[in-house]
């Protein structure tokens, strides 16, 4: 059995990034979970990200 499967034999402690529904589902199953307050850089706006890169050099 691969080592990665060991994880299913232990208590899960989850840090969720992104879609909050995954965090809610885990919480509803009494699994310890933390939702990270995170947004993609420049709010996901690639034009703004390019401008930032040029501005900050």
Site residues (vs another protein, CB under 8 A): 39, 41-45, 47-49, 51-52, 54-57
Q: Which of these, 16, 13, 17, lies nearest to 32 by C-alpha position? A: 13
Q: Cβ of residue 55: shortest distance to another protein, in angstroms?
A: 5
Q: Cβ of residue 37: shortest distance to another protein, in angstroms?
A: 10
Q: Cβ of residue 43: shortest distance to another protein, in angstroms?
A: 2
Q: Which residues pair with 14 in a beta bridge?
A: 33
Query: What's the rounded Cα separation, in Å, for the pair 31 and 48?
Result: 37
9 vs 57 by CB, closer to another protein: 57
The H or E element that residue 24 is part of is: helix 20-28
């Amino acid at each position: 059995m691969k080592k990665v499967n060991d994880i299913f034999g232990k208590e899960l402690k989850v840090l969720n990034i992104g879609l909050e529904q995954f965090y809610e589902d885990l919480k509803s199953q009494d699994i310890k979970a933390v939702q990270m307050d995170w947004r993609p850089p420049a709010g996901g706006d690639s034009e703004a990200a390019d401008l930032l890169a040029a501005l900050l050099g």
